[in-house]
Amino acid sequence: MPRRLTLLALLAAAVASAAAAGCSLVTGPRTESFVIRVDSLTGYTAFPGALAAEQLVWAHVGPNGCHRFVRFEVARAGARMDVTAIGERTTGAGIACTQAIVALYGEPLHVDPPIQRPLTIVVHQPDGTTLTRELWGE
């Protein structure tokens, strides 16, 4: 019994000292979301207003394979479509990442009808600025 109490006391002291030193007791990979900076939108700018359209998104996502594109967050109201490109990075001790740069090389952004004249696409950037592009429904 005294051995068990001694072992428990040592374990409690080790956990307390690790917490006091700022060490995390959570191990393994963690993911965090971030806003991707979009470089440009390409594609046709005039469409039949009753048909769906597509714009291609070009962006640098991250410096290695621990970064990835997750989704577009889209909010549309009238003649304005707000878009935010969301990425995710994996961090943590012992994480191995490929050294390939991750980018969006023409990721399709779908624009559902109706397309007003003009429909302004507003892409929100991580620094608070925006990138805009106008589409024309005919």
Q: Can you tell me which residue has the tokens 């440009």?
A: 40
Mean pLDDT of 23-50: 86
Report domain extents, the chain.
Answer: 29-137
- Give yes or no for residue 14 having a pLDDT over 70: no
Residue-wise pLDDT tens digits, 40-65: 999 999 988 889 999 999 999 999 99
Confidence of residue 117 (pLDDT cuts 50, 70, 90): confident
What are the CA-CA distances from residue 92 to residues 10, 29, 112 (Å)? 27, 5, 39
What is the pTM (predicted TM-score) of this model?
A: 0.77
Q: Find the Cα–Cα–Cα–Cα dihedral 91, 92, 98, 104, rounded to 10°.
A: -10
Give the pairing type, strands 46-47 and 30-35: unpaired
